[in-house]
Amino acid sequence: MTDQAVHYETDASGVARITLDRADKRNAFDASVISELTRAVTRATEDPDCRVIVLAGHGKHFSAGADLNWMKHTATLTAEENRTDARALAGMLKAIDLSPKPVIARVQGAAYGGAVGLVSACDIAVASTDARFCLSEARLGLAPAAIGPYVIRVMGARQARRYFLTCEEISADKALTLGLIHEAVAPEALDETVNALIERLLRNSPQALTACKQLIARSGHNQPDEELIQYTADLIASLRTSPEGQEGLQAFLDKRQPNWISTPIQSNTQGSDSGAKQ
C-alpha cells in the first residue's frame, strides 16, 4: 500500500514498516490518516507472513498529533459526528494495541498529543535523544481521552496526574524514566537499535509472541485468582504440545535454530537452560 499519508512496505524477513509521511505537516494526523493507519495495521496483522510491525514517522518528527485544520473542522461537527470521529481514533489505537504481532514505535523529534497515544499502544518504544513528548490537550480545552487508557497504563496514574494537567514537555530521558519508552539512543543509533530489536523478535516463535501479548493483556492488572491461574495453566499446556512448542524444545535440545528462523542468526551466547517451565 502506497499513498500520500501512510506508506506500507514489507521485507523478506516478515517486517512490515508503516510510516507516516506528512513531513511538511510534522506527520500530524486527521480523519484520513487515522483511517489509512488503521488499514495498514490491520493489513499487517492479517498478513500470515508478517512477523514484526514497525511504526515510524518520516522526516524530523514522529508526529505532532492532531492536524490543526482537522481540529478546527471538528468544532463544526455535531456531537454525534464527533463521537464517530473519536471512535475512529480509538479504533486505530485498539488495532495497534491488540495486534498479535509485536509492534515497535520508532520515535524522533516531536511526539505530541495523540502521538503519545500511538507510542503507548505499541509493545516496544525506542526514541532518539532529541525526541520530546507532550500531552498538550488541556491547553486547547480538551483532555487526552481516547489515548488516556494507553498512556496511563504505561506511565501510571500518579505521573499522569502531573503531565495531563501541566502539559509540560517531556524529554527523551524523562520519558524513559516515566516508562513511555524503553530506550533513548543517539539519533544516529536509532535505526540500528530498532533493527537489533527486530532481530531479537525474529528469533522467537511467532505463536509464543502472540501468547505472551495475550498473557500480559489478561494478567497485567489482575491478581492471580482461580480463573487467571486456570488460564495460565491452560496456556502453557497448549503451547508445550503445539507444533511450535515442540519444535522450539527440540531445536534447543539439538543445539540448532528452530524452523521459524529463516536465515542463520549469529550469537555469542548460548543459554544452558531454556527457562520454559513457568
CATH number, position 250: 1.10.12
Residue 94 lies in a domain: yes
pLDDT band for position 266 (50/70/90)? very low
Q: For residue 28, give the amino acid letter.
A: A
- Nearest C-alpha neighbor of 120 from the set 88, 146, 84, 143: 146
Q: Which residue has the higher pLDDT, 160 or 249?
A: 160
Mean pLDDT, to the nearest integer, of 248-275? 67
- Is the Cβ–Cβ distance between 25 and 67 less than 8 Å? yes
pLDDT, tens only, 66-116: 898 888 888 888 888 888 888 899 999 999 999 999 999 999 999 999 999
pLDDT above 70 (res 7)? yes
Task: Assess whether 35 and 68 both reside in one domain.
Answer: yes
Task: Assess whether 249 and 156 both reside in one domain.
Answer: no
pLDDT (0 to 100) of residue 224: 61
Last residue of a domain, one of 200, 228, 251: 200
Pick from 10-24, 137-151, 197-211, 250-264: least confident: 250-264
Residue 116 lies in a domain: yes
Pick from 17-21, 96-100, 144-148, 194-198: least confident: 144-148
Residue 243 lies in a domain: yes
Residue 1 lies in a domain: no
pLDDT (0 to 100) of residue 111: 98
Task: Assess whether 150 and 265 both reside in one domain.
Answer: no
pLDDT above 80 (res 21)? yes
pLDDT above 70 (res 156)? yes
pLDDT, tens only, 185-233: 999 999 999 999 999 999 999 999 999 999 999 887 665 677 767 777 7
pLDDT (0 to 100) of residue 268: 38
Task: Assess whether 96 and 192 both reside in one domain.
Answer: yes
Last residue of a domain, one of 200, 226, 261: 200
How many domains does the chain divide into?
2
pLDDT band for position 264 (50/70/90)? low
Task: Assess whether 178 and 236 both reside in one domain.
Answer: no
Pick from 80-84, 158-162, 169-173, 262-266: least confident: 262-266
Last residue of a domain, one of 178, 200, 222: 200
Task: Let me know the angle formed at the C-alpha of 101 by 48 and 180, rounded to the nearest 5 degrees.
Answer: 160
Task: Assess whether 107 and 139 both reside in one domain.
Answer: yes
Q: For residue 249, give the amino acid letter.
A: L
Q: Which domain holds residue 225?
A: 205-278
Task: Assess whether 170 and 221 both reside in one domain.
Answer: no
Cα 81 to Cα 9, 37, 85, 155: the distances in Å are 33, 20, 6, 31
Task: Assess whether 80 and 147 both reside in one domain.
Answer: yes
Task: Assess whether 142 and 53 both reside in one domain.
Answer: yes
- Nearest C-alpha neighbor of 6 from the set 30, 35, 36: 36
Show the cell assigned to 158. 500518579
Mean pLDDT, to the nearest integer, of 31-56? 97
Residue 64 lies in a domain: yes
pLDDT band for position 269 (50/70/90)? very low
Task: Assess whether 170 and 84 both reside in one domain.
Answer: yes
pTM: 0.86
- Is the Cβ–Cβ distance between 75 and 121 less than 8 Å? no
Task: Assess whether 132 and 21 both reside in one domain.
Answer: yes
Task: Assess whether 223 and 179 both reside in one domain.
Answer: no
